[in-house]
Chain A
Amino acid sequence: MDIFNEAHYRESEYNTRRHFLKNCISGMGALTLGSMLGGDLFANNLPRPMAGHDIPHFLPKAKHVIYLHMAGAPSQLELFDHKPVLNKLNGQDCPPSLLEGKRFAFIRGTPKMLGSQATFKQYGESRTWISNYLPKFASVVDEISFLKAVSTEEFNHAPAQFLMQTGSPRQGRPSLGSWATYGLGSSNENLPGFIVLLSGGVVTGGKRLWGSGFLPTVYQGVQCQSKGPAVRNLQNPKGVDATLRKQTVEVINKINEQEYQESRDPEILTRMSQYELAFKMQTSVPGVMSIDDEPDYIKNLYGATPGEGSFANNCLLARRLVENGVRFVQLYDEGWDTHGVSPGSGVDVGLKDKCSRIDQGMTALLTDLKQRGLLEETLIVWGGEFGRTPMMEARSGQGFFGRDHHGEAFTMWMAGGGIKKGFTFGETDEIGYSGILGKVHVHDIQATILNQLGLDHERLTFHFQGRDFRLTDVSGNVIKDILTQQY
């Protein structure tokens, strides 16, 4: 629509019924209320939508979260969960007792057991088992708490990702990062509180994974990129400079303010602060999002190359964002769905190759945060949306070392911000099929993340459609076993 059409449309809008109803009713209401309270009601004291709760419920152990989501779900059996018995059973038929009443995404009939394709060794003072797929990461295991028996009910990517990130398998709920920023606000007014970085392709769950659901949209994740412009659609159009842009935003916000005073729609406040934030981000984001000024030894540490959209670059960016006060940094790395439908796409070559692309980056992230003293105030979470079966999937009759989706037991890890170092919680059975000790659910992970930020997951609620909603719905227990006393 060009500007003339728009002007015409606007003019005709004054004659529509909808406009009459909306404007006149709220106008009348405001008029009456205004005269009742003595005039100066809508002075410039607008509520700040970003204010949210602002104050944590109790003393926080972490100020920031970096969540590394391996979308597609990596195999725990090739990375962390060492199962010698499964290796012995390699090639044998899966006993029917494991299949009865179970549903898998692709496995039909009787699959064969598949031993680990990786070799395991113990590392660190904690003697943690790590496979040869993650050689660099093996050097930092003493910083980490592993959760070996995480479970989820969902066995398809999108619902499982929604459950992991929003607490519900159906879309439309606010994401973890949105809840965190809703609870605490942003600690840098020039940057969004919740930033999302992608690598490896498009995430199955899509943009709703970092949506704000029914929370004001100011809390939704802002997707940034390390390749091309840091944030899309943020550059000024040709011929518009910063001063003009500032004036424009000021005028728009003045109009918006009038609109707000008439309709009291909180979404207008969100829009206003988004305009302001976007304007500030035009100068702040390109600076933070450029890794060019990092010294070479840091770039080498991460294996980062400026201009790439790699996981390594995103790890480095995550550190920079946290350093600049961003509350929640969410990384998605797509491409972990190792079904083995063709040679080289299973948990043998395919997974090993994928691991080699994250090993250095995530290890460097831990090392770099630690040497800057940031690890103790930043919670790092790593995991997929579910795990993989101990059985081989052979979709076309022939299998290529693929594993199907498996939600009953998989490994996640946490580090930093008040988490025990060199610790393992939970245990799976001899073949890694289900958890036998220290079982935790997705909601427990979420409760724990909020807890480290000083938020009580049962008290962080939002009233919507007649009831209070919370991230963990009606479940979730903080996993106290992996927490330290340390602040």
Chain B
Amino acid sequence: MEIDLFLGRFHPLLVHLPIGFIVLTVVIEIIGLFKNDKKIYDRIVQYSLIAVMVSGLITIATGLLLSQGGDYAADTLWQHKWLGIGVVVFSALAYVLKIKIRTYNNKHSIFISSVLIILVGLTGHQGGVLTHGQDYLLAYAPDALKKLAGMDVVDSNKGIQHKNQDSVLIYRDIIQPMFEQKCTTCHNNEKQKGGLDLTAYRHLFIETESGYPIVQSVLEESELFKRISLPLDNKKFMPTKGKPLSYSEIKILDYWINMGADSLAVFDHKNMTPELLQLMIRDYNLDYNPKPYIETIVVEEIGEQKVGILIENGFSVDRLGEDNFLFDVSYDRATIGEEQISLLKEIGDNITTLNLSNCGLTNELLAQLPELKNLTKIDLHSNPISDDAIQQLHRYKHLEVINLYDTEVSNDGLKLLLDIDSLRRLYLWKTKVTQEMVDESSNTANVIIDLGGAI
């Protein structure tokens, strides 16, 4: 049994006794200043000074026992120890002076009171620094006060939300700030509790008293991860004081260690769980979901003249945003011909959605359709096109939506359509495609097929 530590840990509790008596002493002493008959006040002060000495000695004793436990920054501990002893010595001195000096007057009184208060204040502060760490007291102080105390003022505008999400480094921008917020009070350069220092990346891989904090890619052997993910009431749970790590923080650590714990690692949706993707949006406002293809297209501006020619020939051309030059093109007249189709070539790269529905488009005309490398949606409904035309659509590598309702496409065509890797949604109402075929293929393909209602 470690009786010394058992008793030592009563120090933070007992320490409030002498503090209370000192405050009492000073208060009574000050009240006494304003009274003519000081006798009764002097008596109280004397008794309370004795109380300070007795409780102070017990506190010193427990404090010395506690300091054997190590884990404390040596400099601060030394200061705290001698200041504490100083308080008791000075109160003894004060007691003696109070009795011995015949000419004890208000000036003496003020001097002794001030020294007592200053001494106990300094001791208490150093004690606080020992248990809570250097920055604890002013961590949430107003910036002006922090500057006055010579602390670094963090510019809150440089928060994570102002960064481009692709340049967010997991360690630098999330994990290190989290360590500083929740761990480095105890695990810093000076006060390496358990031999762990979390102030710098390189220390994460140095063996500590209970193992390696982080083992790259091996979550089960990373002691740090083990400790933070234990049940809250486990005695090995970390952090022992303050807020535990949030669920998101644990999941980010999990991800980062599994990915190799590189200091320059970034998030990549390919190996993130859907849960982590959601957590990042909720708690960090960072959306790592893969962007739809259309959001990634960069194309050049097209002159109004080219667009004008299309409009004259029966097309309507709509820009899809001030920040891009993508076009939504549709043909509005009743019949389309080779001439109109060839015009599309002029703005081919910019067309992302194309509507050539209900305009007498045939298989042959569809074959004339030029290369449209950014096409994501095509609407061909109500045209005399059949399975033979489907092969043409294989040229468009980013086609996600195809609308073929009210055409002659059949089950064979559906098979060809499902070969288009990028395809996501397919409209086949009023075609020859059968429900059986759709049921069969939806098992294999990641495509939503809409056969519409029965006629």
Contacts and interface: CB of A to CB of B under 8 A. Distances in A.
Interface of A: 54-60, 63, 187-188, 295, 297, 301, 325, 367, 370-373, 376, 454, 485-487
B287 to A, nearest CB: 9
Contact of B292 (A58, A297, A301, A487): A487
A460 to B, nearest CB: 12
B142 interface: no
Interface in B278-294: 289, 291-292, 294
6 A-B pairs with least C-beta separation: A371-B452, A373-B427, A373-B403, A371-B429, A55-B319, A58-B321
Contacts of A376: 401, 425
Contact of B320 (A56, A301, A370, A486): A56
Contacts of B328: 63
Contact of B429 (A55, A295, A301, A372): A372
Interface of B: 289, 291-292, 294-295, 316, 318-324, 326, 328, 332, 376-377, 379, 381, 400-401, 403, 405, 424-425, 427, 429, 450-453, 455
A370 B324 contact: no
Given A57-B321, A371-B405, A373-B425, 13 more contacts: A56-B320, A59-B294, A59-B324, A59-B326, A63-B328, A301-B453, A367-B453, A370-B450, A371-B427, A371-B451, A372-B427, A373-B401, A485-B289
29 contacts: A55-B319, A55-B322, A56-B319, A56-B322, A57-B322, A59-B320, A59-B324, A59-B326, A60-B321, A187-B316, A187-B318, A295-B455, A301-B453, A367-B453, A371-B427, A371-B451, A371-B452, A371-B453, A372-B381, A372-B452, A373-B403, A373-B405, A376-B425, A485-B289, A485-B292, A486-B292, A486-B424, A487-B376, A487-B377
B322 A58 contact: yes
A325 B381 CA distance: 16
B319 A54 contact: yes
A487 B323 contact: no
Contact of A373 (B294, B323, B381): B381
A487 B294 CA distance: 8
Nearest to A54: B319
B295 A59 contact: yes
A373 B322 contact: no
B321 A454 contact: yes
A72 to B, nearest CB: 31
B147 to A, nearest CB: 35
Contacts of A370: 450, 452
B313 to A, nearest CB: 15
A136 to B, nearest CB: 12
Contacts of A485: 289, 291-292
Given A56-B320, A60-B320, A371 B376 contact: no
A482 to B, nearest CB: 14
Instruction: Count chain B CB atoms within 10 A of each CB in A59, A60, A486 and give the residue with the most.
Output: A59
Contacts of A57: 321-323
Contacts of A373: 379, 381, 401, 403, 405, 425, 427, 450
Contacts of B326: 59
A370 B427 CA distance: 9
Residues of A contacting B: mostly: loop
A57 B324 CA distance: 9
B324 A372 contact: no
Nearest to A63: B328
Nearest to A486: B292
A162 B445 CA distance: 47
Given A376-B401, A487-B294, A59 B321 contact: yes
B232 to A, nearest CB: 26
A55 B405 contact: no
A442 B159 CA distance: 32
Contacts of B450: 370-371, 373
Contacts of B289: 485
Contacts of A454: 320-321
Contacts of A63: 328
Nearest to B323: A58
Nearest to B320: A59
A82 B452 CA distance: 31
A57 to B, nearest CB: 6
A56 B453 contact: no
B114 to A, nearest CB: 55
Contacts of B294: 59, 487
B380 to A, nearest CB: 10
Contacts of B323: 57-58
A227 B137 CA distance: 76
Nearest to A364: B453
Nearest to A56: B321
A17 to B, nearest CB: 46
B315 to A, nearest CB: 12
B405 A372 contact: yes
A271 B291 CA distance: 44
Nearest to B281: A480
A228 to B, nearest CB: 29
B385 to A, nearest CB: 15
Nearest to B316: A187
Contacts of B376: 487
A485 B291 CA distance: 8
A487 B425 CA distance: 11
Contacts of B322: 55-58
Contacts of B453: 301, 367, 371
Nearest to B454: A297
A294 B166 CA distance: 52
A118 B350 CA distance: 53
Nearest to A185: B318
A485 B288 CA distance: 12
Contacts of B400: 487
Nearest to B400: A487
Contacts of A187: 316, 318
A54 B323 CA distance: 13
Nearest to A298: B455
Contacts of B316: 187, 325
A280 B403 CA distance: 30
Contacts of B455: 295, 297
Nearest to A371: B452
A131 to B, nearest CB: 24
A290 to B, nearest CB: 18
A485 B294 CA distance: 11
A376 B326 CA distance: 19
B412 to A, nearest CB: 21
Nearest to A454: B321
Contacts of B429: 371-372
Contacts of B292: 485-487
Contacts of A55: 319, 321-322
Instruction: Count chain B CB atoms within 10 A of each CB in A55, A370, A485, A487 and give the residue with the most.
Output: A487
A416 to B, nearest CB: 13
Contacts of A325: 316
Contacts of A56: 319-322
Contacts of A295: 455
Nearest to B358: A323
A174 B425 CA distance: 37
Contacts of B425: 373, 376
A325 B401 CA distance: 19
Contacts of B405: 371-373
Contacts of A301: 453
A376 B376 CA distance: 14
Nearest to B382: A372
A10 B386 CA distance: 65
A54 B289 CA distance: 30
